[in-house]
Amino acid sequence: MKKLLIIVGMILMLVIGWVMALSNAMPSAENSAQVESYIRFADEQRALGAYGSAINYYKAAVKQEDTAAHRHLLADTYLEAGLIESYQEELETIVSVHPTDAEGYVKLATFYHERGSYSSCVEVALSANKNGCLTEELREMYFDALYRYTIISDSFDEAYNYYTSYALVKVGETYRYVDTAMNYVLGEYSWADNCLGTVVGVFDDAEQASFYSVSGLKYVDGAEEYEKVWSYSENLALAKKADGYYYLNARYSEVFGPFEEATSFASGIAAVKENGVWHLINQSGAKVGESTFTQIAINEDNLCSYGGVVFAGNGAGYDMYGTDGKLIKQCGFADARPFFTGDYTAVKVGALWGFVDKTGNLVLEAQYEDAKPFGNGVGAVKADGLWGYVNHSGRMVIAPTFDDAGCFSSGKIAPVKIDDLWVYIQLNN
Dump pLDDT digits (tens) for 22-57. Answer: 344 445 667 888 989 999 999 999 999 999 999 999
Mark whether 226 and 146 lie in a shared domain: no
Alpha carbon distance 327, 224 (integer Å): 40
* 143, part of any domain: yes
The residue among 370, 419, 404, 368 whose CA lies nearest residue 161 is: 404
Domain tally, the chain:
2
Mark whether 35 and 146 lie in a shared domain: yes
Q: Which DSSP string do the residues of 70-101 spell out, in sequence order?
A: HHHHHHHHHHHTT-HHHHHHHHHHHHHHSTT-
Predicted local confidence at residue 204, as pLDDT: 74
Strand partners of residue 353: 348, 368
The residue among 147, 143, 204, 192 whose CA lies nearest residue 168 is: 192
* 209, part of any domain: no
Residue 193 is which amino acid?
D
Length of the chain: 429
* 6, part of any domain: no
* 125, part of any domain: yes
| Structural element, H or E, at residue 43 | helix 29-47
Q: What's the pTM value of the predicted model, to 2 decimals?
A: 0.81
* 412, part of any domain: no
* 363, part of any domain: no
CATH at residue 37? 1.25.40.10
Predicted local confidence at residue 223, as pLDDT: 61
The residue among 294, 254, 300 whose CA lies nearest residue 277 is: 294
Dump pLDDT digits (tens) for 275-315. Answer: 999 999 999 999 999 889 999 999 999 999 998 999 999 98
Alpha carbon distance 215, 130 (integer Å): 46
Range of the domain at 63: 30-150
Predicted local confidence at residue 27, as pLDDT: 52
Domain termination site, one of 109, 124, 150: 150
* 50, part of any domain: yes
Mark whether 229 and 144 lie in a shared domain: no
Spatial contact of 293 and 304, defined as CB atoms under 8 Å apart: no
Domain termination site, one of 338, 361, 383: 338
Residue 173 has phi, psi (to 5 degrees) of: -105, 10
Spatial contact of 108 and 99, defined as CB atoms under 8 Å apart: no
* 373, part of any domain: no
| 429 residues of the chain, pLDDT tens digit each | 445 444 434 444 444 344 334 344 445 667 888 989 999 999 999 999 999 999 999 999 999 999 999 999 999 999 999 999 999 999 999 999 999 999 999 999 999 999 989 999 999 999 999 999 999 999 999 989 989 999 999 999 999 999 999 999 999 999 999 999 999 998 899 999 999 999 999 987 666 788 889 888 877 655 667 888 999 999 999 999 999 999 999 888 899 999 999 999 999 999 999 999 999 999 999 999 988 999 999 999 999 999 899 999 998 899 999 999 999 999 999 999 999 999 999 999 999 999 999 999 999 999 999 999 999 999 999 999 999 999 999 999 999 999 999 999 988 999 999 999 999 999 987
Mark whether 123 and 233 lie in a shared domain: no
Mark whether 39 and 139 lie in a shared domain: yes
Predicted local confidence at residue 234, as pLDDT: 94
The residue among 345, 307, 305 whose CA lies nearest residue 325 is: 305
Predicted local confidence at residue 25, as pLDDT: 44
Predicted local confidence at residue 9, as pLDDT: 42
Alpha carbon distance 79, 411 (integer Å): 38
Domain termination site, one of 318, 338, 358: 338
Predicted local confidence at residue 19, as pLDDT: 39
